[in-house]
Amino acid sequence: MRALVFTKPSTVELLDVQDPPPVDGEVLVKVRAVGICGSELHGIRDSGFRRPPLIMGHEFAGTTPDGRRVTVNPLLSCGACDLCLMGRDHLCRERAILGIHRPGAFAEYVSVPEKALHPLAPSMSFETAAVIEPLANGVHALNLARPAEGARVAVLGAGTIGLVSMLVARRFSDQVVVCDLSRERLEVAGRLGATAVTTSLQGEFDIVVDAVGAAATHRMSVQHLRPGGTAVWVGLLSSDAAFDGQQIVREEKHVVGSYCYTAAEFAHAVKLAEEIALDWTSCFDLADGAAIFGELMTGRQDVVKALLRPWGEE
Ligand SMILES: [Zn+2]
Ligand SMILES: [Zn+2]
């Protein structure tokens, strides 16, 4: 089969590879749409967390051999460790993620455990369904903030995770501000329902979602919180946590990290995707994947979420 393979730092290549071998309890999903994640664009600059050669791709939808239209929860947990038993299966000690720890969906086919499949509503396109995984990240991030109705929310970053966080926050608040340096992306955020957009955040918020993860946004996320408010860090751009630690003490601000989603939150996102506008993606052929990766890595801004389609249009 054809697959886009992370072969060495900063390089992905379209290669012919072996089809995934049959495995008991797994099904071969024919990939119809797969999103390129920001974490992959940054993650391939070095081979740390993701090790080449690797077929990445963890945001996808497709069909099973018996004709089911599905999306897949790429986070596989053991179901037996202390964290799984606590309902915190996303923190499973044996956690494995498709496209990171085992082959993912930048390919014509991907093998996935039957239990990771989620059927799609008949009317949902594969393109929309490929955004369910990022949406689940937004669901988890806002759940961690334990929002009250009407909470004032700021979202730092108007990439995919920033947009889905804004869309989730808009369901309980009519004060959701999105901050980004890119006016193109702010325009998208405004069109999708952000109550305000800005290149320079002002004021105080009950919740700040940092969907960037740079030193500057880490600092801003704490600075613009009301006393007792919660900053949720989702972005992974930098490990530099430059913020005022004394504010955490004197103003009892909370800073929590958010990674992926529980199995229950993923299932919730599958339903939520039927009600939320997720049609702001741009589609490309798998064959153009390497070129698109290069353009996105060097800062192309007019594409918020690039989807690759190994089999063309539906
Ligand atoms: Zn992702
Ligand atoms: Zn576990």
Distance (Å) from CA 93 to ligand 2 centroid = 5
| Residue 45: predicted pLDDT | 87
Both 52 and 19 in one domain: the answer is yes
| Residue 249 Cα to ligand 1 middle (Å) | 33
On whether both 144 and 31 belong to a single domain, the answer is no
**How far does the centroid of ligand 2 lie from the alpha carbon of residue 85, in Å?**
7
Confidence of residue 299 (pLDDT cuts 50, 70, 90): confident
Stretch 283-287: mean pLDDT: 97
Rg, C-alpha atoms of the chain: 19
Whether residue 222 sits in one domain with residue 106:
no
Q: How far apart are CA 314 and CA 126, in angstroms?
A: 8
What is the domain-level CATH number for residue 62? 3.90.180.10
Which candidate, 130, 113, 115, 120, places its Cα nearest to that of 27? 113
Residue 168 confidence (pLDDT) above 80:
yes
Q: How confident is the model at residue 260 (pLDDT cuts 50, 70, 90)?
A: very high
Which ligand is closest to the CA of 82, given by its number? 2
Q: 150 with 124, same domain? A: no
Pairing of strands 26-35, 305-309: antiparallel
Residue 17 lies in a domain: yes
One-character DSSP codes across 238-286:
-S---S-HHHHHHT--EEEE--S--HHHHHHHHHHTTTS----EEEEEG
Find the 88 Cα to ligand 1 centroid distance in Å.
19
Q: Does residue 125 sit in the same domain as residue 156?
A: no
120 shares a domain with 197: no
Decide if 234 contacts 258 (C-beta within 8 A).
yes
The CATH number linked to 196 is 3.40.50.720
pLDDT at 230 over 90: yes
H or E element in which residue 125 lies = none
Tell me the torsion sign for CA atoms 199, 299, 277, 156. negative
Residue 242 lies in a domain: yes
Lowest mean pLDDT among 17-26, 99-108, 120-129, 295-304: 295-304
CA of 96 to the centre of ligand 2 (A): 10
For residues 28-43, average pLDDT: 95
Distance (Å, rounded) from C-alpha 205 to C-alpha 208?
Answer: 7
Please indicate, yes or no, whether residues 46 and 147 belong to a single structural domain of this protein. Answer: no
In this prediction, what percent of the chain has a pLDDT beyond 90?
91
- The residue segments making up the domain with residue 148 are 138-257
91/163 same-domain check: no
The model's pTM = 0.97
How far away, in angstroms, is 250 Cα from ligand 1 center? Answer: 35
Q: Name residues with Cβ closer than 5 Å to ligand 1, which is an ion.
A: 37
CA 167, CA 82: separation in Å to the nearest integer? Answer: 33
State the distance from the centre of ligand 2 to the C-alpha of 97, rounded, in angstroms. Answer: 13
Residues 175 and 91 in one domain: no
Q: Which ligand is nearest to the CA of 85?
A: 2
Could you tell me the CA-to-CA distances from 303 to 11, 28, 182, 277 in Å, in that order?
A: 20, 30, 12, 16
Name the domain count of the chain: 2
Which whole number is the average pLDDT over 14-35? 97
Mean pLDDT rounded to a whole number for the chain: 96
Residues 250 and 300 in one domain: no
Is 153's pLDDT higher than 90? Answer: yes
